[in-house]
Structure 1
């Protein structure tokens, strides 16, 4: 079951881009531009986590955080361009779980979200993603099959994470390229091919032959 994230952000472009980015990593995204009733909408959505801007119409993020905390302990990450110590202190005192400033590194934001969700909802064994007999440990970047293990590089791990979150579904090359583009490295079409081939070789070496399949003209599927 996918975790649900409710984004409270009044700038439509940022809201849309952030939603697209997080959706790519397997999260269900809910947003709203009804800021007059945003507290009610956020609570009705029953998200696993809320990303909350401070500068908003009608009510600021501090008020929203305080109102949500009256009835819910859902994790809240404050995401804002205001970066004073006082803003961070106020956010934490009102019950926010984390504070990150714009412009933020998307990988850091992703890691903060994953960490809070893991801490709140999962036990340690939930860091392991299964696909039939194959196990992928996201915390150690290792794959295991038939008691054999292989360590993955950062890019191989990103590709496998995207595939395993969409297991038994075709993931296009374009989606995987976008996943790799989140790093500072230049990524071209050949880089993706090289990393796919290396990942497939490592799967084959531990006995998980045929798990990573190429769908010509469509992309790749793990299953």
Structure 2
């Protein structure tokens, strides 16, 4: 049974989310003290976090940073705010998805299910290590290493890199990436994919591989095999 932590201060909404998700056999926890979110997160050890942006004391962005400081657990943001920068900010902080309030509970459940399948099932592949552009990618540990060092990736970043490497030196369309990563393109925006790929490229710059993920305007992305020069 997957454990979900819902960081939501609206009690009526939290209880409705809990009731809906419990019907799908998820074990759902809430927050008792919004000044001790990290302590409660560490105690629950959830498999997925659903977090509102507007919270007492500190906002959801703050707690996302705190969680990402020591965990790659998948995070889905909820927000009643409709400013595009909120979605961009959440993705830059390492969130896996973003849901605008008010939302349809069927959409929430579909996103939770797709995220859990993506994060916890693809690691069952028999081959966990892959060599690419002079670096070693570890799909289990979510890391990529070369002579310049080792960097840790989020689950989404690893999955995007994996999808591109499997078709290295060939263009992977944006539509195909969206379908593979989120399983149903109706539930994700084109902008969210852009944010995730840009974040991955920035991480790869740290070990000299930023130029190996190339954007093909109007077509998609390509993972080049040759080392960057």
TM-score range, shorter chain: 0.5 to 0.7
What runs of 5+ residues in structure 2 fail to find an aligned partner? 125-229
Partner of 2:40: 41
C-alpha deviation, 1:80, in angstroms: 1.1
Partner of 2:5: 6
Structure 2 matches for 1:59-78, cutoff 5 A? 59-78=58-77
Partner of 2:132: none
List, as ranges, runs of 4+ consecutive aligned residues in structure 1 with deviation greater than 6 Å: none
Deviations 1:15-49 (CA, angstroms, capped at 9, x unpaired): 11110110011100011230000122112211110
C-alpha deviation, 1:122, in angstroms: 1.3
May I ask how many residue pairs the two structures share in their alignment? 125
SS of the counterpart of 2:18?
helix
What runs of 5+ residues in structure 1 fail to find an aligned partner? 126-223
SS of the counterpart of 1:35?
coil
Partner of 1:19: 18
Aligned-pair Cα RMSD in Å: 1.7
Partner of 2:49: 50
SS of the counterpart of 1:86?
helix
SS of the counterpart of 2:69?
helix
Q: Given that residues 62 and 91 in structure 1 are in contact (C-alpha distance below 8 angstroms), is that contact kept between their aligned partners in structure 2?
A: yes
Tell me the TM-score normalized by structure 1.
0.54
Q: Given that residues 43 and 68 in structure 1 are in contact (C-alpha distance below 8 angstroms), is that contact kept between their aligned partners in structure 2?
A: no
Structure 1 Cα separation of the partners of residues 24 and 85 of structure 2: 32
SS of the counterpart of 2:21?
helix
Partner of 1:87: 86
Q: Given that residues 8 and 53 in structure 1 are in contact (C-alpha distance below 8 angstroms), is that contact kept between their aligned partners in structure 2?
A: yes
Tell me the TM-score normalized by structure 2.
0.53
Asked if residue 28 in structure 1 is aligned to residue 27 in structure 2, the reply is yes
C-alpha deviation, 1:84, in angstroms: 1.3
Asked if residue 108 in structure 1 is aligned to residue 104 in structure 2, the reply is no
Q: Given that residues 10 and 33 in structure 1 are in contact (C-alpha distance below 8 angstroms), is that contact kept between their aligned partners in structure 2?
A: no
Structure 1 Cα separation of the partners of residues 38 and 56 of structure 2: 13
Rg (Cα) greater in structure: 1
SS of the counterpart of 1:29?
strand
